[in-house]
């Protein structure tokens, strides 16, 4: 994950409540409503003028990954100067980071092209300019690249030649079932090597230095689901329909835990909605196990961001009554409640959100099984385990890491 050393004059840490043990407070609800308004319709929202209100609003924006967007939307408004300074600092730091990520992604794509390897950027630093017209607005963790499974070994070699270290040890051929593999590189390594005359050893990584992360994906859909979307992207490229589908899937995969993913889908609809081939979109969406989640993503984007989604598309994707009630129970009855449940949804509780967003029947049972018992290659990557390490201790470590949060009493 890319990191930065930027510091802010008045640092307010990210904050988001887990599922409340008591009814939502008025202050919490007001902060969530203000955040939605400032992100979706800044010209119509009431801008807080007092510091206590910002003490609630800004941590929520930081948690949901929308602080740069908040600055872009509100920089022309009258803000308390300490808040303006902190938002601007976040925006500028994100702009610099994304510039570096864009340059590095271009370098990676060029290296793949030299080897005649096809690759398709999914989420990543290009989306800020593509969706919002400003590369600095969208916070980016890594560079997500879709490849053909047959090219996995060749891609692994290219990334290694660029200085990237695969996080899953062992022979690459034994990691084909991982679905996605993470590669990391110290952003300053090459410059340091140049100063040292090209030495392969180079200096050790320095804390706080930016790290480039590549998520090499053989699939778009997670957890071993059917994945016609990946095949469609490989054959047609990232069309507007494929982009919207991938953004909806991304929101589900991240358990609806952060507002930024909903805003991405809304921005795509706002930009491409009039020209979207909805029958083509619907044909693929109905094949996906995440079809109920795609319905939720589109319905929320339409209701919150006032973007056009044809009613017949929503009707075709609308899940059964039980799935709708299940989703409402897990996510809440409205966007404000979902915003305030972000911390819980980002943790083990979010597994219920994924199940609620999955087609009922065998698909939901397959999803549950994959979450309980992920592929061996995935576990080896998470725990950096050697290929000959036994799997049972890895499953136990994973379970013990999730149990404390999963067993914490929550009131829905």
User: Mean pLDDT across the stretch 213-230?
Assistant: 89
pLDDT at 4: 38
Query: What pLDDT was estimated at residue 197?
Result: 38
pLDDT class of 390 with cuts at 50, 70, 90: confident
Average pLDDT over residues 26-46: 86
Instruction: Determine the average pLDDT of the residues in 317-340.
Output: 92
**How confident is the model over 223-250, as pLDDT tens digits?**
667 899 999 999 999 999 999 999 999 9
Question: Which is more confidently placed, 207 or 240?
Answer: 240
Rounded to whole angstroms, how far apart are CA atoms 163 and 113? 17
Give yes or no for a contact between 184 and 167, defined as CB atoms under 8 angstroms apart: yes
Domain positions in the chain:
239-372, 376-407
Mean pLDDT of the chain: 85
Select the more confidently predicted residue: 400 or 71: 71
Per-residue pLDDT reduced to its tens digit, 321-332: 999 999 999 999
pLDDT tens for residues 156-197? 999 999 999 998 888 888 888 888 899 999 986 544 433 433
> What pLDDT score does 256 carry?
95
| Element housing 391 (H / E) | none
Q: What percent of the chain has pLDDT over 70?
A: 86
Among 123-137, 338-352, 394-408, the range scoring the smallest mean pLDDT is: 394-408
pLDDT score recorded for residue 404: 67
Of 198, 197, 139, nearest to 163 by C-alpha is 198
pLDDT number for residue 113: 98
Where are the alpha helices (H) located in 115-238, listed in sequence order? Answer: 126-127, 152-161, 189-195, 228-236
Model pTM score: 0.86
Q: DSSP secondary structure string, 223-238?
A: TT---HHHHHHHHH-S
Question: In the predicted model, is pLDDT for residue 23 greater than 60?
Answer: no
Residue 320 has pLDDT above 80, yes or no: yes
As beta bridge partners, residue 184 has 165, 213
- pLDDT band, very low/low/confident/very high, at 3 (cuts 50, 70, 90): very low
């Amino acid at each position: 994950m890319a990191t930065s050393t930027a510091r802010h004059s008045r640092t307010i840490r990210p904050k988001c409540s887990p599922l409340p043990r008591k009814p939502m407070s008025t202050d919490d609800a007001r902060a969530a409503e203000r955040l939605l308004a400032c992100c979706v319709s800044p010209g119509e929202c009431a801008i807080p003028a007092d510091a206590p209100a910002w003490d609630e609003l800004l941590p929520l924006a930081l948690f949901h990954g929308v602080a740069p967007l908040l600055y872009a939307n509100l920089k022309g408004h009258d803000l308390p100067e300490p808040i303006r300074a902190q938002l601007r600092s976040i925006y500028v730091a994100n702009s610099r980071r994304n510039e570096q990520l864009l340059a590095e992604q271009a370098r990676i794509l060029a290296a793949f092209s030299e080897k005649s390897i096809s690759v398709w950027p999914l989420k990543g630093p290009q989306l800020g300019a593509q969706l919002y017209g400003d590369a600095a607005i969208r916070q980016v963790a890594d560079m997500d690249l879709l490849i053909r499974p047959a090219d996995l070994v060749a891609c692994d070699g290219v990334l290694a030649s660029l200085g990237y270290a695969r996080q899953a040890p062992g022979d690459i051929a034994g990691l084909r079932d991982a679905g996605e593999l993470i590669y990391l590189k110290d952003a300053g390594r090459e410059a340091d090597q140049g100063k040292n005359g090209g030495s392969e050893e180079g200096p050790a990584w320095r804390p706080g230095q930016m790290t480039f992360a590549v998520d090499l994906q053989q699939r778009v859909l997670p957890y071993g689901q059917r994945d016609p979307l990946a095949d469609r992207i490989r054959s047609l490229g990232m069309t507007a329909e494929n982009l919207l589908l991938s953004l909806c899937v991304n929101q589900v995969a991240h358990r609806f835990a952060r507002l930024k993913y909903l805003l991405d889908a809304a921005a795509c609809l706002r930009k491409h909605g009039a020209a979207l081939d909805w029958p083509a979109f619907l044909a693929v969406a109905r094949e996906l196990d995440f079809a109920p989640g795609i319905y939720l993503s589109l319905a929320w984007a339409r209701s919150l961001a006032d973007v056009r989604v044809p009613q017949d598309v929503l009707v075709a994707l609308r899940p059964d009554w039980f799935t709708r009630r299940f989703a409402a129970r897990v996510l809440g009855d409205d966007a404000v409640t979902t915003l305030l449940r972000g911390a819980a949804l980002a943790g083990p509780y979010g597994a219920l959100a994924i199940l609620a967003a999955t087609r009922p029947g065998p698909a939901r049972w397959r999803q549950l099984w994959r979450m309980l018992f992920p592929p061996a290659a995935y576990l080896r990557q998470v725990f950096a385990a050697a290929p000959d390490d036994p799997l049972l201790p890895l499953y136990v470590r994973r379970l013990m890491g999730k149990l404390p949060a999963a067993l914490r009493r929550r009131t829905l």
